[in-house]
Structure 1
Amino acid sequence: MMRAMYIVPVLVVLGALALSSVFIVDERKKALVLQFGQVTQVKSDPGLGFKIPFVQDVVYYEDRILGLQTTPLEVTMLDDRRLVVDAFSRWRIVDLVQFREAVGVGGETQGLRRLEGIVNPAIQEVLGSVPSNRVLSEDRTALMNQIRDIARRQAANLGIEVIDVRLTRTDLPEQNLEATFARMRAEREREAADEIARGGEAAQRVRASADRTVVELTSDARRQAEVVRGEADAERNRILAESYGRDPEFFAFIRSLTAYEVSLQGANSSIVMQPDSEFFDYLRSDQAPADPAETPEAAPAPAPAPAP
């Protein structure tokens, strides 16, 4: 009985020692076995590992690709324009021993700080040597590759591999935005004024051309009308002369009737003349005047003034 009482505690202690000497490495992790702060074993493959209980410790590190979002920083470009830039970097630990010696007990958190201290100066170095329009053009990819290469060379001393660096934002500082917008508005207003001026000039040319065309067409129409009117008057005079030559007496009679019609229009027409005037020869007798060719053309006499 006394022996059994000692065996059970011994077994418990041995079991505890056995359990404490075994550790498990997940497939997403890597592990370092440390003895008094010194690395004694590197466990990179997933599975069981063994260590000396109470003497050695196990520290786990990520084996997956990690991300780093840098804090925004202002960069002065080659053309003296300032841009607020931040970037996103992907990285992983490739040398556990070197990483441990570089960052100490801080692990991945300290690794992020150290990596950001590498990426930000690389961004300033690359972007500070080019004008701002290259950052906003197709050269952006080449610039990001340059930043990645610089960060990759410097991060190799930390046991870190920089897989990629991408610029996520390139904006103007807040204090420069209003000035930039004002300059853009002024440029657009100037362009609009230029377009309005060119449009007004073109409209003036069109109106002047239209006015000139109207004057030319009107003048030509008047000329043609005068020609037609002259031809008509000539034809009328020719017909009148021909008619007069054929029958002078009939022509005189028609002219007298026309003079009567013109003179005696209206309800209160009055004519003042001598009673024996030749104007009424065709009204006093059915005989024609002795010399119709000499009969004067009757014209409407002015109306007498009203009695006071």
Structure 2
Amino acid sequence: MQKLAIAIPVIALVAAVGLSSVYVVDEREQALVLQFGQVKEVKTTPGLGFKLPLIQTVKTYEDRILSLTTRPLEVTPLDDRRLVVDAFARWRITDAVKFHTATRGRGEPWAQQQLDNIITAQIREVLGGVPSTAVLSDDRISLMVKIRDSARAEAQALGVEVIDVRLTRTDLPDQNLEATYARMRAEREREAADEIARGNEAAQRIRASADRTRTELTSDAQRQAEIVRGEAQAQANKIYAEAYNKDPNFFAFTRQLDFYANTLKSDSSRIIAQPDSLYFDYDRFLQSLGEAPSQAQTAKPPAAQ
């Protein structure tokens, strides 16, 4: 019994020592075996590992890709328009020994603070060298690549790799939004006024050209009408002259009939003249035609006056 009582504590002690000398590395982690603060072994593959009990300790770090969301910050591009920018980054620990030394064993939280400082500094530097229009545009991949490369170069001292940096928000500060909107409205109104002025100018040119064309067409039509009218009048005069030469009395008679027709068109026409006026010479002749045939046959039209 006495031996058994001694053996049980010894077995328990050996088991405790054996268990303390074994450690497990998860597939999502990488481990460092430390002895008095010095790195003695690096284990990056998952599985069991062994260390000296009581003397050596194990420090594990993430082997997965980690994310970092930067704090919002104000940047001033080349055109002095302040912008509020925030970003997120993807990073991972590539050198556990360097990472442990750089962070002094304080791990990922301390490294995240350092990466936040590095990335925000690079954002200020890169965005400060371009106009705000380049930052606010949809095509800003080149800017994010430049920020990532610069941050990656600085982060190597921490034993980490910056995989990617993305700008999530690029907005104007609230106090500048209204002024920016007013300036944008003024620019659009100026562009609209320019378009209206150019449209009015083009309309005026078209209107003037149409008026000139109309005047030319009207003048040409009037000229041609006058030519046709003159030719017709000349032809009429020629016919009248030929008719007059054939029978002057008959020509005078027909002209007098035209004169009667023109002066007696209206029912209210009134003629005031002496009874022996020349106007009534043919009238009396026409009246004689309505009398007895014998008288009509003997009546002769008066000579042309």
Q: Is the 8 A contact 1:23 1:50 kept in 2?
A: yes
Q: Secondary structure at the match of 1:48?
A: strand
Q: Secondary structure at the match of 1:71?
A: coil
How do residues 70-219 of structure 1 correspond to structure 2 at under 5 angstroms?
70-133=70-133, 135=135, 140-219=140-219
Q: Is the 8 A contact 2:74 2:85 kept in 1?
A: yes
What CA distance in whole angstroms lies between the structure 2 residues aligned with 1:255 and 1:38?
142
Q: CA RMSD in A?
A: 3.1
Measure how far apart 1:55 and its partner are: 5.1
Gap change, CA 1:260 and 1:127, over 3 Å in 2:
closer
**Matched-pair identity in %:** 60
Gap change, CA 1:46 and 1:290, over 3 Å in 2:
closer
1:288 maps to 2:288: no
Q: Is the 8 A contact 1:93 1:159 kept in 2?
A: yes
Gaps of 5+ in 2: 289-294
Gap change, CA 1:53 and 1:133, over 3 Å in 2:
same
Matching residue of 1:63: 63
Q: Secondary structure at the match of 1:45?
A: coil
Measure how far apart 1:175 and its partner are: 2.3
- Stretch moving more, 53-62 or 210-219: 53-62
Matching residue of 2:32: 32
Measure how far apart 1:169 and its partner are: 3.5
Measure how far apart 1:25 and its partner are: 0.6
Gap change, CA 1:283 and 1:101, over 3 Å in 2:
same
Please give the per-residue CA displacement for 1:126-174, whole angstroms capped at 9, x wherever unaligned: 3334444555689955544443344334323322233343434433333
Q: Secondary structure at the match of 2:106?
A: helix
Matching residue of 1:15: 15
Q: Secondary structure at the match of 2:78?
A: coil
Q: Secondary structure at the match of 2:64?
A: coil
Gap change, CA 1:96 and 1:198, over 3 Å in 2:
same
Gaps of 5+ in 1: 295-308
Please give the per-residue CA displacement for 1:259-307, whole angstroms capped at 9, x wherever unaligned: 444455555665554269524133225322352x32xxxxxxxxxxxxx
Instruction: State the TM-score, normalized to the length of structure 1.
Output: 0.80
Between Structure 1 and Structure 2, how many residues are aligned? 293
What CA distance in whole angstroms lies between the structure 1 residues aligned with 2:200 and 2:92?
65
What CA distance in whole angstroms lies between the structure 1 residues aligned with 2:187 and 2:119?
37
Measure how far apart 1:62 and its partner are: 0.7
